[in-house]
Amino acid sequence: MTGPGVHTLEVPAGAALQRVDRYVADVTGLSRSHVQKLISAGNLTADGLPLKANAVIGPGAALRLVVPEPEPLDLAPAPEIPVRVVHEDADLLIVDKPAGLVVHPAPGHAGGTLVNALLAHAGPSGFGGIAGVQRPGIVHRLDRDTSGLLMVARTDAAQHSLMAQLKARRIKKTYLALVLGEVAAEVGRIEAPIGRDPKHRTRMAVVPDGRPATTGYRVRERFVGWTLLELDLVTGRTHQIRVHLLAIGHPVAGDPVYGTGTSRRGPRPGPAGAPLERLFLHAWRLQLTSPSDGRLIRAEAPLPGELERVLVGLRAGATDLGGPEGRR
């Protein structure tokens, strides 16, 4: 990882001709977008002359790169928002996000987000600089109504590594979801392209010209009228799990956008259970490679209490029914 300061880079003998922004990103560990910003600011020179991002360089080229100190993020920390950290090291945090918490500030929602909470948790020096700014590196996102595990990079190099792992599909993300109906197959795979719903532009749908999307699933537990699934998110399209499960006739319980009637309301609370008051979708398990030393990192977040109590009610209801048509 190339930190703040002045760095001299020399292209080794035998190297192929390539764009200078790509070369600098590869040898420094900085993201390509950050390198391009540095180049635009005149911070990359050869023989005293500033280079353009698309300049082609070859063996023997000597470069001078100036990396400024990261700028502080103009965002208020939120110490009142608790952060449950599942894994923490010099490269990244893995946190267990509660349902209802927005991940990142946006127009009309500048505060009260996970990023605000992370700034309070880690302190002013807790993030080494993402694209030149001291901020948490949000590598992927969870919908506001989804709970569970989220990776947060602490450095530009860590974010670069995690993004590359995501692109190569080397990070395994497994979710838990309660769905309407009794899913027939114990194990399955949904391959259907996802894009904007042509009739409802704020929603996503399976459409012929959408982006390729793949979701694997396994039945974890069966109930009368409902199924608890483990889902592997192979690709990462917007609302992918919710859209794919709707497409096969098993919408996620408690979904206010894609559910209707019974699926939106969720199961009736059993004798010892509780009503479902949120989307029953939880990012349960993550498996990835450490950006620094290549070791395998596994993290897991148990179902939140409000979802586990729904299952308790379903199990109690199945026991009351008894016989082969109860819990299976």
Q: 113: closest CA among 139, 63, 77, 140?
A: 77
Catalytic residue among 74, 89, 143, 197: 143
Please provide residue 6's backbone torsions phi and psi, each rounded to the nearest 5 degrees. Answer: -105, 130
21 catalytic, yes or no? no
**What is the SS3 assignment for 28?**
helix
| Identity of residue 156 | D
| Angstrom distance (rounded) from CA 2 to CA 5 | 8
Count CB neighbours of 197 within 10 A: 17
Q: In which residue are the tokens 């764009």 written?
A: 19
Please state, in angstroms and rounded to a whole number, the distance separating the CA atoms of residues 85 and 105. Answer: 20
Ranges of beta strands (E only) in 117-274 are 133-134, 137-138, 147-153, 172-180, 187-191, 194-196, 204-206, 214-223, 226-233
Round to whole Å and give the CA distance between 99 and 307: 11
Residue partners of 24: CB distance under 8 A and separation at least 6: 9, 30, 35, 44, 63, 65
Cβ neighbours of residue 326 closer than 8 Å, sequence gap 6 or more: 224, 318, 319, 320
- Dihedral (CA of 97, 100, 101, 104) sign: positive
**DSSP assignment letter at 230:** E
d(CA 260, CA 133): 43
Please state, in angstroms and as integers, the Cα–Cα distance from residue 227 to each residue in 54, 179, 281, 304, following that order.
53, 5, 13, 18
Q: Give the catalytic positions in this structure.
A: 143
